[in-house]
């Protein structure tokens, strides 16, 4: 296993700790595009505090990016270790050690990391047989005890088998008009309005699902005028983060691309006003 330890601004680290567990991935940006080429995905990247001989925590390497502050902020937001884009630019300028201000298009490097964790308390370098860092990063020797602190949990099939417990839960759900649902499904006879095709070519009968275009939880009406018939895949995509529906053209917008309704026997476009 290859592992890296690299100098880390404690302000960057503290800000990211405040985001855990919301930040699934974080940006360990570098003021230059220099990268650690021997580390592989899933291997640990340790954070050595600037000016102090101790390890603050670690993440697991995902990939290296050649990027800019603007793209970094757009992709990671506060997962870049800064509360806003202005603070990020100031931090990169300080790390570059130059009087020239960092711009949104300045070329920098970034190690994308997942499973961000802190050591409490931090681990002194002498306890894990590591020298201090006169360079931006170093590889961790294979005999260092530090690697034991980032051991990978056993796969599920190797873990001890346990019996699942039961728990009684109370939840609130919207009471839907089943007659409206049946009406919408009958209109389309097992076909998805977005693909125009039956789910799985009709194997298993009508497997479509009725979707509320304006979500019930956001005040949408439980009425056929706000419903459509979708395949399970399209229904999941309709609820995905970033997906929207344009009522003026009856199109889903997914990652900037528009997908029109192919089958329509009841929906009417709405004006923005």
Mean pLDDT across the stretch 65-74?
91
Task: Output the six-digit token pair for 158.
Answer: 């190797």
pLDDT greater at residue 69 or residue 174:
69
Q: Report whether pLDDT(162) > 60.
A: no
* Spatial distance between the Cα atoms of 93 and 212, rounded to a whole number of angstroms: 48
| Whole-number percent of the chain with pLDDT over 70 | 89
What's the confidence (pLDDT) of residue 127? 93
Mean pLDDT across the stretch 11-15?
86
Q: Report whether pLDDT(229) > 90.
A: yes
What's the confidence (pLDDT) of residue 158? 47
**228 backbone dihedrals φ, ψ, rounded to 5°:** -150, 160
Mean pLDDT across the stretch 32-40?
83
Contact indicator for 223, 216 with CB cutoff of 8 Å: no
* Spatial distance between the Cα atoms of 253 and 257, rounded to a whole number of angstroms: 5
Contact indicator for 229, 193 with CB cutoff of 8 Å: yes
Q: Give the number of C-alpha atoms closer than 13 A to the C-alpha of residue 239, restricted to the C-beta side.
A: 14
Task: Output the six-digit token pair for 123.
Answer: 């681990």
**218 backbone dihedrals φ, ψ, rounded to 5°:** -110, 15
Contact indicator for 61, 111 with CB cutoff of 8 Å: yes
Query: pLDDT of 206-221, one tens digit each?
Result: 899 999 999 887 888 9
Task: Output the six-digit token pair for 20.
Answer: 């855990």
CATH code 3.20.20.70 for 4-148: no
**240 backbone dihedrals φ, ψ, rounded to 5°:** -70, 150
* Spatial distance between the Cα atoms of 237 and 221, rounded to a whole number of angstroms: 20
**135 backbone dihedrals φ, ψ, rounded to 5°:** -125, 170
Q: Where are the domains of the chain?
A: 4-148, 178-260
Full-model pTM: 0.54
What's the confidence (pLDDT) of residue 157? 46
């Amino acid at each position: 296993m290859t592992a890296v330890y690299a100098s880390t601004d404690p302000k960057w680290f503290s800000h990211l700790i405040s985001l855990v567990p919301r930040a699934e991935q974080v940006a360990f940006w570098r003021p230059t595009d220099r990268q650690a080429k021997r580390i592989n995905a899933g291997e640990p990247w340790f954070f050595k505090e600037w000016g102090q001989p101790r390890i603050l925590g670690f993440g697991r390497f995902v990939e290296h990016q050649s990027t800019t502050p603007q793209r970094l902020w757009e992709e990671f937001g506060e997962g870049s270790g800064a509360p806003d884009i202005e603070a990020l630019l100031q931090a990169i300028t300080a790390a570059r050690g130059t009087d020239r201000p960092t711009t949104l298009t300045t070329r920098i490097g970034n190690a994308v990391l997942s499973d961000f964790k802190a050591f409490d308390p931090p681990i002194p370098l002498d306890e894990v047989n590591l020298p201090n860092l006169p360079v931006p990063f170093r590889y961790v020797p294979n005999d260092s005890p530090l690697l034991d602190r980032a051991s990978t949990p056993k796969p599920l099939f190797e873990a001890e088998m346990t019996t699942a417990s039961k728990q009684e839960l109370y939840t609130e759900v919207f009471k839907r008009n089943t007659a409206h649902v049946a009406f919408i499904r009958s209109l389309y006879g097992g076909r998805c309005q977005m693909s125009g095709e039956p789910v799985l070519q009709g194997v298993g009968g009508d497997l479509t699902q009725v979707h509320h275009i304006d979500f019930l939880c956001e005040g949408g009406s439980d009425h056929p005028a706000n419903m459509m018939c979708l395949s399970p895949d399209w229904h999941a995509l309709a609820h995905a983060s970033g997906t929207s529906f344009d009522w003026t053209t009856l199109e889903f917008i997914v990652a900037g691309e528009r997908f029109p309704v192919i089958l329509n026997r009841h929906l009417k476009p709405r004006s923005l006003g």
